[in-house]
Amino acid sequence: MSIKKQAIRKFQDRSAVIGIIGLGYVGLPLALRYAEAGYTVLGFDVDPVKPEKIAAGLTYFQHIPDERVSEAVEAGFSATTDFSRTNEADALIICVPTPLKEHREPDISFVTDTMDTLTPYLRPGQVVSLESTTYPGTTEEELRPRMEQAGFTIGEDAFLVYSPEREDPGNSRFTTRTIPKVVSGSTPACLAVGTALYSGVIDQVVPVTSTQAAEMTKLLENIHRAVNIGLVNEMKVVADRMDIDIYEVIDAAATKPFGFVPYYPGPGLGGHCIPIDPFYLTWKAREYGVNTRFIELAGEVNSSMPRWVVGKITDALNSASKSVNGSRVLMLGIAYKKNIDDVRESPSVEIMQQLRQRGARVEYCDPYFPQFPPMRSYNFDLESRVLTAAMLRDYDCVVIGVDHDCFDYELILKEARLLVDTRGRVKEKHAHVFRA
Ligand SMILES: NC(=O)c1ccc[n+]([C@@H]2O[C@H](COP(=O)([O-])OP(=O)(O)OC[C@H]3O[C@@H](n4cnc5c(N)ncnc54)[C@H](O)[C@@H]3O)[C@@H](O)[C@H]2O)c1
């Protein structure tokens, strides 16, 4: 039997060992899904805390319960920092970060470092699948040559796949299994092996003809969101000037049964994907002499939102004859979106920073973060305040940065002296509430 057929058979009969490299927001749920579907799963991470937690059957994400981890461990999931054990796995699925460098250029060093770590242990029959979001060409230009230099013929004795992740942490409507998965291969044989790899755990696998097409698919999905959020943020500013309720407008437009998709405004983009991924394409497009003006314009609008919100906080304080300088401001929610414990690129934190630079005394309340987490560009030595009537009255201004479901909005509305709402949570007009 050919190496390709052997690989496919192992994924189909679930005798394959699945290696997941990077056990973060993407890698952990994927590992749990493979374990749940009956595969033996071996996780790898450079952070030793993750394998320790997994061995103890404990989660490290609020949206994933301990039981899911302990059940997966019972079903054959283990994790390690020992990368020499990657040769035990039939598939090596890479889920490591792809952030931006200081000057907003792609930083794919986590991906290339991972591949450099894996190559000494690669053996015939293995499939390497990259899931990290990246610019078109990464798989062919960065991963393929590294595997070839290690002595493999791609599509014959080793297989290379790109399959973008579509994880949406905290979204209970979809699971890893029910979110269709785009899969591509470096060669037709790679695509066949990749399709077998994912068909055992995902209901619908969507094959595309090249790794570049799959890489661009993921970028299109996220840029589509970034651009539409940029549009609606611009509409929000216009509506605000005209004293029109933008949420009423969006909800009315959304009754159109075709040709309209509702997007909602906010204090700016957050998370690991939407604020970052567009830059991966704009950077690569420059290599081809193409300017992505539309995408960059959306980026400009979205990144101006924290400043706009600070302007609204200033207006709110002004209405009470107060200045930002010296005022006490409480930020409700520092996560980048509701009901999750992820603070990456959070606009709430940028707003806190801008307020602090203007002399405000800023604190926060977010039950998902009892301590203010360490961040690359910000340094707040704070603990989350407990939400009470007396505590709310303590502040000159309270800001809804993220509308977590766990907040008591009736209490907030009643007790806050001034309330700035960046999420459209307060529907009716009140003299002390400012939409932002
Ligand atoms: N978070 C999401 O919702 C989401 C959704 C779709 C796609 N993505 C993409 O998936 C990729 C991973 O994102 P994430 O949110 O899971 O990141 P994350 O930071 O939560 O997890 C990455 C993990 O990789 C580990 N790691 C870093 N370098 C490593 C290395 N050299 N070897 C092994 N492990 C290493 C880290 O310790 C961490 O546990 C990114 O490209 C991201 O853009 C993320």
Give the span between the Cα atoms of 355 and 361, in whole angstroms: 8
What is the length of the chain?
436
Segment 90-115 shows an average pLDDT of: 96
For a mutational test of ligand 1's pocket, the pick from 20, 21, 25, 54, i.e. the residue with the most ligand atoms closer than 8 A to its C-beta, is 25
Query: CB-based contacts of 25: which residues, under 8 Å, 6+ apart?
Result: 61, 167, 169, 272, 342
Contact 146, 154 (CB under 8 A): no
| pLDDT per position as a tens digit, 385-431 | 999 999 999 999 999 999 999 999 999 999 999 999 999 999 999 99
Contact 66, 59 (CB under 8 A): yes
pLDDT at 167 over 90: no
Contact 47, 22 (CB under 8 A): no
Query: 421, 419, 423: which is closest to 329 by C-alpha?
Result: 419
Q: Which pLDDT score, from 0 to 100, does residue 170 have?
A: 79
| Ligand 1 centre distance from Cα of residue 14 (Å) | 25
| pLDDT per position as a tens digit, 370-380 | 999 999 889 99
Segment 347-362 shows an average pLDDT of: 98
155: left (phi over 0), alpha (psi -120 to 50) or beta: left
pLDDT at 171 over 90: no
Q: Which pLDDT score, from 0 to 100, does residue 355 have?
A: 98
Using a CB cutoff of 8 Å and minimum separation of 24, what contacts does 61-66 make?
Answer: 61/25, 61/28, 61/169, 61/341, 62/340, 62/341, 62/368, 63/169, 63/170, 63/339, 63/340, 63/341, 64/28, 64/29, 64/32
Share of the chain above pLDDT 90, in %: 96
Ligand 1 atom closest to residue 114's alpha carbon, by position in its atom list: 31
Specify which residues 161 forms β-bridges with: 129, 185
Q: For 99-143, what is the HEC assignment?
A: CECCCCCECCHHHHHHHHHHHHHCCCCCEEEECCCCCCCHHHHHH
Q: Which pLDDT score, from 0 to 100, does residue 104 have?
A: 87
| pLDDT per position as a tens digit, 246-260 | 999 999 999 999 999
Q: Which pLDDT score, from 0 to 100, does residue 226 have?
A: 96
| Average model confidence (pLDDT) across the chain | 97
Q: Which pLDDT score, from 0 to 100, does residue 145 have?
A: 98
| Ligand 1 centre distance from Cα of residue 422 (Å) | 28
**Radius of gyration, CA atoms only, the chain:** 24
The set of protein residues with a Cβ atom below 6 angstroms from ligand 1 is 21-27, 44-47, 50, 95-98, 110, 113-114, 131-133, 165, 167, 169, 272-273
More confident residue, 202 or 102: 202
More confident residue, 84 or 273: 84
Q: In this predicted structure, which of 98-102, 308-312, 327-331 has the lowest mean pLDDT?
A: 98-102
pLDDT at 89 over 90: yes
Catalytic residues: 273
- Which of the four pLDDT bands, split at 50, 70 and 90, describes residue 203? very high
Q: Which pLDDT score, from 0 to 100, does residue 179 have?
A: 96
| pLDDT per position as a tens digit, 11-65 | 999 999 999 999 999 999 999 999 999 999 999 999 999 999 999 999 999 889 9
Which tokens in the block code for residue 110?
A: 């986590």
Nearest CA, atom 41, ligand 1: 132
| Ligand 1 centre distance from Cα of residue 94 (Å) | 9
Ligand 1 atom closest to residue 96's alpha carbon, by position in its atom list: 24
The number of beta carbons lying within 10 Å of the beta carbon of residue 188 is 12
- Which of the four pLDDT bands, split at 50, 70 and 90, describes residue 102? confident
Share of the chain above pLDDT 70, in %: 100
| Ligand 1 centre distance from Cα of residue 123 (Å) | 24
